[in-house]
Amino acid sequence: LKRQAALVVLGDAISFAASFVSSMLLARVIALETMGSWQQVAYLTTMWASVLEMGISTSVYRFWVRFPDAERAVFARMLIAGTATCGVVAMASLAVAAPVLSQLYGNRELLTLLLIGVAIPGVRIPLQLIRPVMICQGASLRATMVETVLSVATTLALVVPCMMGRSLAYALVMRVLITLPFLVLIPLVFAGVLQRAGRWWSRAIFAEVWGYLWPIQIARISGHLVNYLDKVVMSVVAGPGPFAIYSLGAREIPFIGQIGSSISSVLIPRLISDIDEQNWGEVKRRWAAACTSTAMLTYPIATFCMVQAVPIMRLLFSDVYRESAIPFRIFAATTILRVVEYASLAKAMGRTDLIMRSSFISGGALLLLAPLLGWWWGPMGMAMAVLLAQVSNAGYLLTSYWRQIPGSLHTFYPWPRLLTILGLAMSVHIASGYLMGGRLQIDEEGRFILLAAKLAILFVPGAAVYLIGLHLLGYLQWGHRWWSKARWRLS
């Protein structure tokens, strides 16, 4: 199980790295407005695939092993037919919407690119079956290899033509063509099941699978709203150039922002046991410790990204995208907020109603704030709207917990300690930048390797002072017992 989990995480990391590297390379070889057009195509095709896929691939994890062989053969045929149908619907609907979106966004180039890119969701939706089916078959390594090859191939197909001076439309055609052969893998993956005689339809199987999927789809609505509304509004109120600046900066710090969620996923089973035993003291202690541990690890990185946002954006995407530092700085602040998965306590208590309400609150806040702040302040206002929506989500959940858990808020959400850690991390990086930034001449440095080295030189002394400060405050112990616990936690 650990090996399979590690392989799945590795596949996710490779896919993310391929996407991120492609953005870094494209930002250096194509014009700002063209980059904005590509970012619009990328998020629109992803959004179309996510919405119209209907969560079909997620049902594989639940029902593939659960169904007997005969029913699994029918289920497999229904999966293939269902994803193929959703893919065709996605292609047709995006083709119909392409002229409207091009006019709405004020981007003539977008029409041509979208008409080429309609094939992306049409191919992506069926291909999303490969990974869960192979994992359920115990072939996690092969699933990771397929995902790696697909990610690298599509990245190269897009980036290499642009680096050779070809148009983005030509590169997008190459990207679509390179994905088509991967569709051959679908009958190969399902070969063992499809050899069994069976029908292509079963009302009973459909009813059971749909009964599982539709609540998930409702919950995903607010998630899609939060993920894509800011991009839609920015595309409408700004041209492709400003959208490129916003989209490249409006990203959370890779992997660091997920630490709180990872810790919470391990914490939930223990919280459930404590809640069943009505041991609220242990619940509060565990949750507070998780918040503090995450903060001590993530705050120095998040604050460094906030203080040095401009050179980091220059390092990643070239000097053209200096203004991307504005949304990047605000999105780095979301890492400071995410010291824990705030819904984890609700999951442990079985209060899914709190999770649904918080999702609607954050979605409603973003729906209200995004057009207003995005219109007034551009990229900065849009990033602020996303941050405030997340604050509203966390605020509602914390208030709900405070009413149900005995004691004060700070006993399970240690906000005084979090503010102290934040102040320490922010102050050491501000001081480091003030004392060393001028000597290193980071603002004038344009060479990639030297700029990366100078940023590392700025970060390391500040991180060392930060660790010493944590030790002096009593938050970090360096004795043998602490190191033993640290090694155990990492393992």
Q: Establish if 213 belongs to a structural domain.
A: no
Q: Establish if 209 belongs to a structural domain.
A: no
Residues 364 and 247 in one domain: yes
Contacts of 116 (CB under 8 A, 6+ apart): 169, 172, 173, 176
Q: Establish if 35 belongs to a structural domain.
A: yes
Residues 464 and 360 in one domain: yes
CA torsion through residues 154, 157, 163, 165, sign: negative
% residues pLDDT > 70 (the chain):
91
71 and 103 Cβ atoms separated by less than 8 Å: no
Least confident range of 92-101, 145-154, 223-232, 259-268 = 259-268
Query: Residue 128 burial (CB < 10 Å; 0-12/13-18/19+)?
Result: buried
Look at residue 245 and tell me whether its pLDDT is greater than 60. yes
Structural domain boundaries, residue 251: 223-490
Euclidean distance between CA atoms 174 and 157, whole angstroms: 6
Q: Residue 219 — very low, low, confident or very high, per pLDDT cuts 50/70/90?
A: low
409 and 402 Cβ atoms separated by less than 8 Å: yes
pLDDT, greater one: 269 or 161: 161
Q: Residue 257 — very low, low, confident or very high, per pLDDT cuts 50/70/90?
A: low
Residues 236 and 369 in one domain: yes
pLDDT, greater one: 421 or 220: 421
pLDDT in tens, 9-58: 676 677 778 888 899 999 999 999 999 999 999 999 999 998 888 878 87
Residues 270 and 354 in one domain: yes
Contacts of 385 (CB under 8 A, 6+ apart): 230, 365, 366, 369, 370, 372, 373, 374
73 and 198 Cβ atoms separated by less than 8 Å: yes
Residues 394 and 443 in one domain: yes
Euclidean distance between CA atoms 60 and 194, whole angstroms: 15
Residues 58 and 173 in one domain: yes
Q: Residue 183 — very low, low, confident or very high, per pLDDT cuts 50/70/90?
A: very high
Which of helix, strand or coil describes residue 478?
coil
Q: Residue 157 — very low, low, confident or very high, per pLDDT cuts 50/70/90?
A: very high
Report the number of distinct structural domains present in the chain. Answer: 2
Residues 244 and 192 in one domain: no
Q: Establish if 327 belongs to a structural domain.
A: yes
Q: The whole model's pTM is what?
A: 0.80
CA 146 from centroid of its chain's CA atoms: 21
Q: Establish if 352 belongs to a structural domain.
A: yes
* 201, 233, 251 - which closes a domain: 201
Least confident range of 126-130, 376-380, 475-479 = 475-479
Q: Of 357, 331, 368, nearest to 246 (Cα)?
A: 331
Q: Establish if 218 belongs to a structural domain.
A: no
Residues 253 and 362 in one domain: yes
Question: In this structure, which amino acid lies at residue 401?
Answer: Y
Euclidean distance between CA atoms 49 and 86, whole angstroms: 9
Residues 142 and 289 in one domain: no
Q: Establish if 332 belongs to a structural domain.
A: yes
Q: Establish if 322 belongs to a structural domain.
A: yes
Euclidean distance between CA atoms 25 and 15, whole angstroms: 16
175 and 153 Cβ atoms separated by less than 8 Å: no
Report the pLDDT averaged over residues 46-74.
Answer: 83
Indicate the length of the chain as a whole number. Answer: 491
Q: Write down the pLDDT at residue 2.
A: 54
Euclidean distance between CA atoms 308 and 442, whole angstroms: 10
287 and 340 Cβ atoms separated by less than 8 Å: yes
Least confident range of 5-14, 81-90, 159-168, 240-249 = 5-14
Residues 111 and 238 in one domain: no
Residues 165 and 105 in one domain: yes
Residues 184 and 301 in one domain: no
Crossing angle between the packed helical segments 168-179 and 32-52, to the nearest 10 degrees: 30
Look at residue 153 and tell me whether its pLDDT is greater than 90. yes
